[in-house]
Amino acid sequence: MAAKDYTTMWESLGLNLEAHNGLLQVLGQAYGDIFLTQKSRPKGMQYLDFVLSEIHGLRVEELLKAKAEGRKVIGTFCLYVPEELILAVDGVCVGLCAGASVGTEQAERYLPRNTCALIKSFFGFKLAGLCPYTESCDLVIGETTCDGKKKAYEIFGEFKDTFVLEVPHMKGPEDKRLWLAELKRLAAKIEEVCGRAIAAEGLKRGIRTVNAKRAALQRLARLRRARPAPISGLDALLINQVAFYDDPPRFTAQVNAICDELEARIAKGEGVAPADAQRILVAGCPMAAPNWKVPAVVEQAGAVIVGEESCVGERGTRNLVAEDGETVDEMLAAIADRYLNIDCACFTPNTERLDHVVEMARDLQADGVVHYALLFCTPYLMEARGVRQRARDEGIPMLEVETDYSMEDMGQLATRVQAFLEVLRG
């Protein structure tokens, strides 16, 4: 995909060059087929096309340059890890590869077969030598969210220096105390790895940087209320996926430029789909890049996705950290508050997520919800029942999809989605 030859860099990171070249080819082909064939894309998406074409190239080169300057790279897999703490000490935070079916055979030597695709994927990327981000990391931060991830990090730690952050599963006063203490333990680890203390000025800067990024993504989300939809769900998802990799200030500026363009489109009544196209809200498990399967099926069937109730979407961007703290302790408390508001299905009870699904569906004028859960993902599969009941009570049609990263069920998925859209059309 990349124009420049990065072989020496990939070799220095210990990647399996042959398998990696194969992966980039498949990725490039899929990207071309799914994204570049879309009609009426905003011009600003050219930036995202470029980022994707350089996903294992230029951005990795930037990380290695940062490392050469003495900065540290820290990898994460979950929304509960505050990027602000890493930026506070001039570290670089990257979301690690977990959205493709690679290295499955190697992963299954360590993990039960009935492990979700996301966990198998991050193991597969590491064991097959396919993720330049993981190989660039000075530390990986895992978390005790679902049982699968929690136990997987014990094994992953044998291959890569991994710190596991304890995320409580309830939101009472004791949990809040534990959570704040855990963030302080994490802050100490980040300080140790980055070789400098978190100071108030750096933390304030980190909070503002991440808030600005989330505010730009919130702006994008609001613009998707328009009819006709000014941007496809695929492109909006891609923007949210790249948020985990790209340099934050550069990315924020690009998203705001896309939003300016979308505002102009809305003013002219222009969109990517007819005004009467079925509007779909996708809710459920995160879709890490390059997991584009379900949105591609939905939009190729003629509907338009107007929102993602997902970690790669509104669950990840909904709240900002309060900016009025002055001391490190005050800012840490504000970060703890903001992050414990995230409504991951790993929490119990988690009724606020059901409220959010309904609020989003109403706000975005969605005609229906596609609930997406990865095969073997107990938290989201079990919580689907609550979402289904709430959606039924509110009169919102819902289709439940349970799948993985393989392409084998594409035909069956397409048939189910088409039937659902028929129902919505009445």
What's phi and psi for 283, nearest 5 deg? -130, 140
Q: How far is the CB of 347 from ligand BJ8 (least distance, A)?
A: 9
Nearer to ligand BJ8, 87 or 283 (CB): 283
Q: Which is nearer to ligand BJ8, 152 or 229 (CB)?
A: 152
The Cα 395–Cα 403 span in angstroms is 25
Q: Which long-range contacts (CB under 8 A, 24 or more apart) does 47-53 make?
A: 47/254, 47/257, 47/258, 48/235, 48/238, 48/239, 48/242, 48/254, 51/242, 51/245, 51/246, 52/1, 52/238, 52/242, 53/1, 53/2, 53/3, 53/28
Distance of closest approach, residue 92 Cβ to ligand BJ8, in angstroms: 19
Spatial distance between the Cα atoms of 98 and 109, rounded to a whole number of angstroms: 18
Q: How far apart are CA 157 and CA 164, in angstroms?
A: 9
Q: Which of 197, 212, 199, 208 is nearest to 84 (CA)?
A: 208
How far apart are CB 396 and ligand BJ8 at their closest, in Å? 22
**Cα-based distances in Å from 48 to 69, 96, 243:** 27, 18, 10
**CA–CA dist 67, 80 (Å, integer):** 24
Residue 134 or 145 with smaller CB distance to ligand BJ8: 145
Binding interface with ligand BJ8 (CB under 6 A): 78-80, 116, 118-119, 145-146, 148-149, 285-286, 311, 342, 344, 346, 374, 377, 379-380
Tell me the C-alpha distance between 122 and 100, whole Å: 9
Which residue, 42 or 103, is less far from ligand BJ8 as judged by CB? 103
The Cα–Cα gap between 367 and 93 comes to 37
Comparison of 71 and 160: residue with beta carbon closer to ligand BJ8:
160
User: Shortest gap between Cβ of 197 and ligand BJ8 (angstroms)?
Assistant: 28
Tokens of 109: 């030597």
**C-alpha angle 111-382-368 in degrees, rounded to nearest 5:** 120
What's the min distance (Å) between Cβ of 386 and ligand BJ8?
A: 15
Q: Which residues is 143 bridged to in the sheet?
A: 165
Nearer to ligand BJ8, 34 or 119 (CB): 119
Q: Residue 284 to residues 201, 240, 245, 307, 321: CA-CA distances in angstroms?
A: 37, 15, 21, 11, 24
Q: Closer to ligand BJ8 at the Cβ: 15 or 146?
A: 146
Instruction: Give the residue with the Cβ less far from ligand BJ8, 230 or 313.
Output: 313
Least distance (Å) from ligand BJ8 to the CB of residue 373?
Answer: 8
Minimum CB distance to ligand BJ8, residue 168 (Å): 13
- Of the two residues 81 and 223, which places its CB atom closer to ligand BJ8 in the complex? 81
CB-wise, 96 or 277, nearer to ligand BJ8?
96
Q: How far is the CB of 316 from ligand BJ8 (least distance, A)?
A: 8
CB of residue 339 vs ligand BJ8: minimum separation in angstroms? Answer: 10
- Rounded to a whole number of angstroms, the minimum distance from the CB of residue 226 to ligand BJ8 is 27
**Angle (CA) 377 242 201, round 5°:** 105
